[in-house]
Amino acid sequence: MILRRLFFLIVLSLAGWCAQAQSDLIATRGIYVDKTINLPMDEVVDKEFSPFGGLLKRSLSPSVRWIHLTIDRSRSTDQVATLVVGPHYLAEIALYEKQQGQWVRRVVGDRYPSPQPSCPFGSYCFVIALDKLDSPDLYLRVQTINGYYITTQLLDRVAVEDEMRDRALSAGLECGVLLVLIVLSFLLVLTGGGTIASYFCLTQITALGLTLSVLGVLANYLTPEYAWVDNFLFNLFYVLRCLFSVLLSIAFLKNLPIPVWYTQVTRALVAIFVFEIVWLLLMPVSLYSLAFNFAFIVLWPLIWLFVLFQVRIQPLTHRYLMLGITMSMGLMMWVDMIPAFGLTQFDRMLVPGNFGGLMVSVLMSLLVTSEVRVRSQMQKKLIADLARAQSINMLESQQIKERSMMIDMLTHELKNPLAAMRMAAGSLKTSLMKLPASATQDSNDRISSMIDAIQGMNTVIERCVQVDSLDQGKMVVIMEEIDIEELLSDARRASRDPGRIRIHIHSPSLLFKTDAGLLSIVLTNLVDNALKYSPHDSLVEVSARMDARAFKLVVENAVGVAGSPEPEKVFFRYYRGEHAHAWPGTGLGLYLVKSICDILNGSVECQATVEKVNFSVTLQS
């Protein structure tokens, strides 16, 4: 609400200020560019002057501009008038007026700071006695490196007082608005506005410093020996404002898919402005840098607008707000720059982009406030989503912990009875062996089935424990050099049917650095899976080879009654083939193999046909 009121106040004040007519006594204006720099006054009067609309016809080569003013005395009855020349930052202005047949020279400007209490803000003044002039012709010799154009007004006493009042109100309005924007942006920074609010605050601080320099406030505290300080501060504030404007745009589009060319342009601009600041600290002001800064002020709103048309901004209403404000900014800046191009005489203007820049600041503050609010809402949503995700994660962690505790309890409760049952079955089988074989065949078969079932249950429990350790990240990899051939022999001896396993070694040495325990789990699961689902009278082929970079293990078996597995699903947790449910299992063995291979920086693949199933493990060295 405050920002909207400020905007309408600026618009109304500017309209009222521009609408007021002043009693300007200047009838015509002309300009002549002296490229020699040393042209004497007696020769200047004979030169041909072009019509002058305010533009100083800048060039990157040193030159002096002469402004010819013709006075119309009939417009006022006062005998004394004040020539108001601006803007404040013009370096040297010499006025030539003819009295008693001689050209009288008076000098003001940034190089000659002096208090002028009866002069409007941001201007230099010459008091002229109209009744003492020999001719209605006045000449201004202008030498500057900062100004792009010059305003001239010859005002009588009443008009000067009105102008001083209007300029004071304008200066107060500018400074007041900028102070309000600085306070509001600082509050945005304190309330979490981030880099957007910070850069916007810095742009307004530098804008205030630039305005104070333009209004001549800083020059009032300088002596002629330190007049250069005002010129230095003016250019420093100008460059800093451009730099912070670019940084603000970068922060504004930070999280959006901006075009690559815009990123390159902004990086180049930042580098150039930083270089200009260093240059100002070491060397005099460069005409090339001033021309570049002027081009930046003119073209930057167009670049910004073009980028916003390419960037997808959400929500849609926010996108339209940004585009509308940016178009308004560009329009006002260009309207404000019309006098700088010499297309019209605008004696009220203090600096190019002065009021346009002020309204741009207010509009940008609306945009920044809206963007900060949208980002704050997004941040709150992200925080809420994060809290929800953390809550879900905590719940899942608790469930995993409880499941792990249950598995530990079941493992403890089942292993001991199973071990006791296995020992009892073994003892019973040993006792039966003392009896005739014909009388104990059936009992031996049943006891063997009991032992196989107990072994299967032990395997299921062991795999559940291993998967639980994997889920909780408890598997620790201990890399050591092992003999793969010895590991394969141990796995064959520990299998349910060692006689069906054939091991093929295709390398002279199988020394490989890996985790022996984890690789043993992989091998055991693959061999157990092959024995379980292949025909009982078939062989399981285990091949191993090693080259300079990798170890490869292949386990191959014939397809049994359960059929071939689906290679794309076989490593999923709990996956079991369509006809595999007649055999005990959990669907965790191959999932465990795949997970351990990932941990060991390896891979496992399955290839299946109607006759053969092939599992290939590759571990990188």
Model confidence pLDDT, tens digit, residues 509-544? 888 888 888 888 889 889 988 888 888 889 999 999
Angle between helices 437-471 and 354-432 (to 10 degrees): 160
Phi, psi for 153 (deg, rounded to 5): -140, 135
Distance of CA 554 to the CA centre of its chain: 50
What residues have CB less than 8 Å from 430, skipping those under 6 apart?
A: none
pLDDT score for 250: 87
Bridging pattern class, strands 26-34 and 50-51: antiparallel
Rounded CA-CA distance 578/582 in Å is 10
Residue 461's pLDDT band, with cuts at 50, 70 and 90, is: low
Rounded CA-CA distance 523/479 in Å is 17
Specify the long-range contacts of residues 460-464, CB closer than 8 Å, at least 24 apart: 460/584, 460/585, 460/586, 461/410, 461/411, 461/414, 461/415, 461/418, 463/525, 463/586, 463/588, 463/589, 463/592, 464/407, 464/411, 464/586, 464/588
Rounded CA-CA distance 604/613 in Å is 13
On the CB side of 31, how many CA atoms lie within 13 Å of its CA?
19
| Between 554 and 15, residue with greater pLDDT | 554
Show the tokens assigned to 280.
């100002």
Show the tokens assigned to 573.
């947790």
Residue 353 has pLDDT above 50, yes or no: no
- Quick one: three-class SS letters along 499-544? HHEEEEECCCCCEEEECHHHHHHHHHHHHHHHHHHCCCCCCEEEEE
Q: What share of the chain is helix, strand, coil (3-state, %, to 5)?
A: 55, 15, 30
pLDDT score for 350: 41
pLDDT tens per residue, range 187-225: 888 887 788 888 888 988 998 888 888 887 887 777 777
pLDDT score for 237: 92
For residues 55-60, average pLDDT: 75
Show the tokens assigned to 528.
């157990």
pLDDT score for 542: 93
pLDDT score for 348: 47
What percentage of residues in the chain have a pLDDT greater than 70? 75
Rounded CA-CA distance 363/314 in Å is 20
pLDDT score for 98: 92
CB count within 10 Å of CB 481 equals 9
Show the tokens assigned to 52.
């002058």
Phi, psi for 512 (deg, rounded to 5): -145, 140
Comparing 129-133, 294-298, 522-526, the range with the smallest average pLDDT is 294-298
Q: Which of 554, 570, 587 is nearest to 488 (CA)?
A: 554
Q: Which domains does the chain have, with CATH numbers?
A: 23-162 (2.60.40.2380), 164-382 (1.20.1070), 388-455 (no CATH), 475-620 (3.30.565.10)
Rg (CA), the chain: 45
Q: Give CA separation, 604 vs 107, 382, 531, 598, in Å.
A: 90, 39, 19, 9
Cβ–Cβ under 8 Å, residues 596 and 513: no
Residue 428's pLDDT band, with cuts at 50, 70 and 90, is: low
Q: Give CA separation, 496 vs 148, 151, 491, 525, in Å.
A: 96, 104, 10, 12
Provide the 3-class DSSP secondary structure of residue 454: helix
What percentage of residues in the chain have a pLDDT greater than 90? 19
Comparing 193-207, 361-375, 441-455, the range with the smallest average pLDDT is 441-455
List the end-to-end C-alpha distance of the chain, in Å, as a whole number: 68
To which residue do tokens 């304008």 refer?
170
For residues 147-176, average pLDDT: 84
Residue 21 has pLDDT above 80, yes or no: no
pLDDT score for 352: 41
Comparing 207-216, 348-357, 571-580, 585-594, the range with the smallest average pLDDT is 348-357
Residue 392 has pLDDT above 90, yes or no: no
Residue 116's pLDDT band, with cuts at 50, 70 and 90, is: confident
Comparing 39-43, 48-52, 514-518, the range with the smallest average pLDDT is 514-518
Q: What is the dihedral of CA 591, 593, 594, 597, to 10 degrees?
A: 160
For residues 289-306, average pLDDT: 82
For residues 567-581, average pLDDT: 80
Show the tokens assigned to 406.
């249950």
Comparing 28-42, 168-182, 448-462, 581-595, the range with the smallest average pLDDT is 448-462
Residue 231 has pLDDT above 90, yes or no: no
Comparing 14-23, 42-51, 437-446, 559-568, the range with the smallest average pLDDT is 14-23
The mean pLDDT value of the chain amounts to 79
Show the tokens assigned to 179.
């102070």
Residue 426 has pLDDT above 80, yes or no: no
For residues 25-44, average pLDDT: 91
pLDDT score for 48: 93
Rounded CA-CA distance 132/101 in Å is 11
Rounded CA-CA distance 508/617 in Å is 19
CB count within 10 Å of CB 419 equals 12
- pTM confidence score: 0.58
Residue 4 has pLDDT above 80, yes or no: no
Determine the residue type at 243: L
Residue 586 has pLDDT above 90, yes or no: no
For residues 324-335, average pLDDT: 66
The partner residues of 92 in beta bridges, in order of sequence, read 143
Angle between helices 316-336 and 354-432 (to 10 degrees): 150
Residue 415's pLDDT band, with cuts at 50, 70 and 90, is: low
